[in-house]
Amino acid sequence: MLNQARSEIVDPALEALAWAREVATQSPDLLRHPPAYPKSKQLKAVPVAALREYLDALLMGRYVQHGLDALLEVGALRVWLPEVEAMVGFGDGEWQHKDLWKHSKQVVWQSVPRLQVRWGALLHDIGKVKTRRVSQDSQIRFFGHSEVGAAMFRKQIARRLGFEGELFERIHYLILYHLRASQYDSSWTDSAVRRFTRAMGEGLNDLLDLGRADITTKRLGRRKRGLSQIDELETRIRQLRIEDAKQPALPKGLGDRIMEFFDLPPSRAIGNLKRRLEEQVERGELEARRPIEYYMRWLQEHRDELEI
């Protein structure tokens, strides 16, 4: 009796979730044939593990934007992702900025079908609902929305939907840094590109792909410029990696010059000083492959802290 009662509660919700998944993975035409809509208590009764299976499959679907509409229609967003439902109709001409729901659906659809990127695309702008401000000159601002959105994911959504491990870390990272790729400019020096690459770490490819998907403007010229900007950044990152792999960061003869300049004998201390310089290059504080005197000036300026 207990299992039967539980089945009567959960089954309608599972049927609705399965329908939304099929809309996303099979055909948007299924939107015309919805199931009986479950009640909130039925949706809440779905085990998190089962819910995530449906949501993950839906987000990877070919018609994902229609699948998201199906989730909205059956009330699943209201129960399990109210932060996403809050974006529905948010904007839509009220303050003359893009409708966040329409934008987010397009970003998800445009993004590469990797689960972490699709989740990052769905959630990347959730912080805008809490951060929208209208300035005195009627300009719309969303200051800090990336940080606010990342905190919402970390404190609310991740706990509610059971995100953990690498997937949790990557989604949080994508929400927090989703604007970074679009901030690139051709005037960046090679050192700046190297600093960006190191700061973004292992998630860089996902971040660049999300950055491309986040360009939803209907203005073809602006869209082309935005995509070209990210492509240029990716090309420079790849070229610098190839260049750095071929050549040592520090010039030949540096060790001899250090011994001569500071009157030091051959010792482990010389190697330690060279490693300190390499660390500065890795952090982007110093440039690679510059003349010997460039590095000698840095050592002299930091002589006291290095205890030379």
Domain boundary among 127, 161, 180: 180
Shared domain for 149 and 292, answered yes or no, is no
What pLDDT was estimated at residue 4? 42
Q: How many domains does the chain have?
A: 2
Shared domain for 259 and 166, answered yes or no, is no
What pLDDT was estimated at residue 97? 56
Which tens digit of pLDDT belongs to each residue from 256-274?
999 999 898 989 899 999 9
Which tens digit of pLDDT belongs to each residue from 175-232?
999 999 999 999 999 989 999 998 999 999 999 999 999 999 999 999 999 999 999 9
Residue bearing tokens 């018609």: 63
In-domain check, residue 187: no
Domain boundary among 180, 201, 231: 180
Which string of DSSP letters, residue by residue, matches 22-50? HHHHT-GGGGGS--PPPPHHHHHTS-HHH
Binned at pLDDT 50, 70 and 90, residue 93 comes out as low
What pLDDT was estimated at residue 281? 87
- Is the backbone of residue 138 left (phi > 0), alpha (psi -120 to 50) or beta? left
* Structural domain for 280, as ranges: 254-306
Low-confidence winner among 40-49, 113-122, 143-152, 237-246 (lowest mean pLDDT): 237-246
In-domain check, residue 6: yes
Shared domain for 174 and 278, answered yes or no, is no
Mean pLDDT of 103-125: 98
Shared domain for 275 and 149, answered yes or no, is no
Mean pLDDT of 133-153: 86
Q: Is the pLDDT of residue 5 over 70?
A: no
Mean pLDDT of 249-254: 91
In-domain check, residue 269: yes
In-domain check, residue 235: no
Shared domain for 10 and 104, answered yes or no, is yes
Shared domain for 155 and 262, answered yes or no, is no
Return mean pLDDT, the chain.
91
Shared domain for 130 and 279, answered yes or no, is no
In-domain check, residue 186: no
Binned at pLDDT 50, 70 and 90, residue 1 comes out as very low
In-domain check, residue 195: no
Binned at pLDDT 50, 70 and 90, residue 96 comes out as low
CA gap 111, 114 in Å, rounded: 8
Our CA angle for 287, 293, 294, nearest 5°, is: 20
* Closest among 13, 10, 15 to 33, alpha carbons compared: 15
What pLDDT was estimated at residue 284? 80
- Residue 140, H or E segment: strand 140-141
Shared domain for 173 and 273, answered yes or no, is no
Binned at pLDDT 50, 70 and 90, residue 3 comes out as very low
Q: Is the dihedral of CA 17, 19, 23, 28 positive or negative?
A: negative
Shared domain for 147 and 276, answered yes or no, is no
In-domain check, residue 185: no
Shared domain for 129 and 8, answered yes or no, is yes
Shared domain for 164 and 286, answered yes or no, is no
Amino acid identity of 83? E
Shared domain for 164 and 282, answered yes or no, is no
Domain boundary among 180, 202, 228: 180
Q: Is the pLDDT of residue 104 over 70?
A: yes
| pTM: predicted TM-score of the whole model, two decimal places | 0.81
In total, the chain counts a number of residues equal to 308
In-domain check, residue 88: yes
User: What's 111's DSSP letter?
Assistant: S
